[in-house]
């Protein structure tokens, strides 16, 4: 879990992937990760009026892809997305960088948080030049099994 959190912290930006409302296609966009909690919960600021909010209202199934070539961090996260309209939490997570999206700051009425709770995390080892899956976090801890060549089992958080 620590390794996962550390890798996410290395990457400021991820692709947040939702299901289009037609249920047919995936919809993804770069999103800045505001915070990752100690239990792996990931927080994002967004506009309440955005398509992704509508998509999450329709399907809470979201994924996060991180492919950070410079830090060599690769993660694929499946999880549940929840919309959190909590001004106290927004204040806690606020950073001045967010003014680029929300010039009104915390008073912006068109602001909501997305919290992604991961239920499956796959990550690839950063020190391996051949990009082998060294392990799948919890599964590896439980079974001691090593996966090879980007092929791997599933873990459940």
Tell me the per-residue interface mask from 76 to 105 with its own copies, x by CB under 8 A, - otherwise: x-x---------------------xx----
Q: Please work out the total of residues on this chain that contact its own copies, with binding judged by CB under 8 A.
A: 42
Closest CB to its own copies among residues 27, 82: 27
Give the contacts of 152 (CB within 8 A, at least 6 positions apart).
122, 133, 136
- The dihedrals phi and psi of 20, each to the nearest 5 degrees, come to -60, 155
How far apart are CB 20 and its own copies at their closest, in Å? 8
Give the contacts of 123 (CB within 8 A, at least 6 positions apart).
3, 4, 7, 73, 74, 75, 76, 136, 137
How far apart are CB 40 and its own copies at their closest, in Å? 17
Closest CB to its own copies among residues 127, 129: 129
């Amino acid at each position: 879990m620590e390794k996962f959190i550390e890798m996410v912290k290395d990457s400021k930006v991820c692709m947040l992937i939702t299901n289009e409302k037609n249920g047919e296609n995936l919809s993804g966009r770069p999103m800045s990760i505001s915070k990752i909690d100690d239990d792996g919960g990931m927080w994002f600021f967004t506009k309440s009026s955005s398509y992704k909010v509508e998509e999450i209202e329709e399907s809470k199934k979201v994924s996060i892809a991180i492919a950070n070539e410079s830090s060599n961090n690769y993660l694929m996260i499946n999880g549940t997305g929840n919309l959190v309209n909590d001004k106290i939490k927004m204040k806690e997570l606020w950073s001045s960088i967010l003014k680029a999206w929300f010039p009104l700051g915390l008073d912006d009425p068109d602001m909501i948080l997305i919290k992604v709770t991961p239920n499956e995390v796959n990550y690839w080892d950063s020190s391996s030049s051949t990009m082998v899956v060294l392990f799948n976090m919890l599964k590896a801890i439980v079974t001691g099994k090593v996966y090879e060549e980007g092929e791997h089992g599933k873990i459940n958080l």
